[in-house]
Amino acid sequence: MTAKITFATIEAGAGLKAALGKGRADIIGELSASGIKGRGGAGFPVGVKWNLCAAARGESKYVVCNADEGEPGTFKDRVILMEHADLVFEGMTIGGYATGAREGIVYLRGEYAYMRAHLEAVLAKRREKKLLGKNAAGKQGFEFDIRIQMGSGAYVCGEETALIESLEGHRGEPRNRPPFPVDTGYMGRPTVVNNVETLAWVACIMAKGAGWFKSVGTEKSTGLKLFSVSGDCKNPGVYEFPMGITISKLMQEVGGEGAKAVQVGGASGHCVPAADFGRTIAFEDISTGGSIIVFGKGRDMLAVARNFLDFFVEESCGQCTPCREGNHKLLEGVTMLAEGRCSMAYLKELMSLGETMQLASKCGLGQSSSNAFLSIVKNFKDEIMGRATQGSLTHRRQGADHG
């Protein structure tokens, strides 16, 4: 499966060489022209981010590679790091040159500790080849090196400001934004945080040009994207597709025909029912960091919602009330639904709570943790309401307005 990935066809070193032959502004200009948006989920334009960091004042700046990959159903970064680590480091080095940073940090999730030796070996080789260090890659006066720091099992640390807190030795609690990391990041210095895949594409764009990247995808979502496909399909794995692919086409490719629903974007993404498989995966339609989870005919969608809410209850950092309490309430609601004792009125209240969480939470975790619940309730009402529990209902207290 991975043989199909474009990264394999890009000559290692080509992107870095091309980039170092250009001026800083030209590199950023090329990225802006390519239209590339971040591959970690939020989809912020890379050119804009790098430009802000390059323009920020600071005697030291940092390029951080977000290798925390904790979104349920995502594993493409694992494959990229194991098979194309050089491209990622190249992207970071280009970032250092373009923004004026001298240090790169890979924040690698604790669950991926087994990769560390491999990544350190790749870095050592790069130092040996003088691609890192003083006068890196033969560019006089350009100094850049990369180190790896491990996470310790906290999903929220994938959020860029929580990640920075963690790098600095604190609890991974997201910060208020603004200020943004591009001017007040790691150690209060200007910092670029990018996803593993984003950095690899940067190296590819430098090697092949903005026009090449833009030639596929849609106007607002350019280029190719890696997808992590799991669940009820014949061929799970990592795939590369153009942005803007329809869900039904994607299902054909992975052997997921006949699916009842697809979760696009992991636990924090949306659950798309079969009726909407004509929709596209793109920043302007259904956006994703690459997680695609296929639900076959027999799956219980309420069990799916419960699994996701269990996840968020556990992973919420607890800093703000809508997220800390809201996820608990939604989980309780799922239990009531499962036991067939949730009134329509209460379900409506839960849905409005979910919407409040999206508005009132401090970071992306709380802002998106109710997405799956809301889309499952909306699309699978018949399946989740009025359930009879195993055994007798008569001794159970019923909701007043049981509907």
Partner 1 sequence: MLVTERERLRDDIQAMADRMGRKRDALIPILQEVQTKHQQISDYAMQVVADLLDIHPVEVYSVVSFYSFLDNKPKGRFVVRLCRTISCDMAGKEAVARQLMNDLGVCFGESTKDGKFTLDWANCIGMCDQGPALLVNEQVHTKVTPEGVHEILEACRKTFGVYAQEKKEERA
Ligand X SMILES: Cc1cc2nc3c(=O)[nH]c(=O)nc-3n(C[C@H](O)[C@H](O)[C@H](O)COP(=O)(O)O)c2cc1C
**294: its two tokens:** 């296929």
Distance, CA of 165 to CA of 2 (rounded, Å): 34
Distance, CA of 243 to CA of 260 (rounded, Å): 23
Phi, psi of 368 (to 5 degrees): -125, -5
End-to-end CA gap in the chain: 47
Say which entry of ligand SF4, ligand X, partner 1, none residue 319 contacts (CB below 5 to 8 A, set by partner kind).
Answer: ligand SF4
> Using the rule CB under 8 A, is 230 a contact of partner 1?
yes
Say which entry of ligand SF4, partner 1, ligand X, none residue 11 contacts (CB below 5 to 8 A, set by partner kind).
Answer: none
* Residue placing its CB nearer to ligand SF4 in the complex, 111 or 325: 325
> Using the rule CB under 6 A, is 238 a contact of ligand X?
no
**13: its two tokens:** 């070193």
* Residue placing its CB nearer to partner 1 in the complex, 28 or 323: 323
CB of 159 to partner 1, least distance (A): 14
- Applying CB under 8 A, the span of 38-46, 153-161, 176-184, 213-221 interacting with partner 1 comes to 153-161
Residues near ligand X (CB under 6 A), total: 22
In the complex, which residue's CB is closest to ligand SF4? 366
Task: Report the interface residues with ligand SF4, using CB under 6 A.
Answer: 156, 174, 316-320, 323-324, 361-363, 365-366
∠ Cα 67 69 18 (to 5°)? 40
CB of 71 to partner 1, least distance (A): 7
DSSP state, residue 55:
H
- Applying CB under 8 A, the span of 67-75, 92-100, 118-126, 350-358 interacting with partner 1 comes to 67-75
> Using the rule CB under 6 A, is 156 a contact of ligand X?
yes
> Using the rule CB under 8 A, is 73 a contact of partner 1?
yes
Q: What is the secondary structure of 212-275 as a DSSP string?
A: HHHTSB-SSSBSEEEEEEEESSSS-EEEEEETT-BHHHHHHHHT-TT-SEEEESGGGSEEEEGG
DSSP state, residue 201:
H
**310: its two tokens:** 């269990």
Contacts 24+ apart (CB under 8 A), 152-155: 152/110, 153/109, 153/110, 153/111, 154/70, 154/315, 154/317, 155/68, 155/70, 155/71, 155/311, 155/315, 155/365
* Residue placing its CB nearer to ligand SF4 in the complex, 32 or 367: 367
* Residue placing its CB nearer to ligand X in the complex, 256 or 269: 269
List interacting residues with partner 1 (CB under 8 A): 69-75, 77-78, 109-114, 149-155, 166-172, 187, 228-232, 236-238, 263, 267, 293, 295, 299, 304, 307-308, 310-311, 314-315, 317
Contact set with ligand X (CB under 6 A): 38-42, 44, 66, 68-71, 156, 158-160, 193-195, 198, 363-365
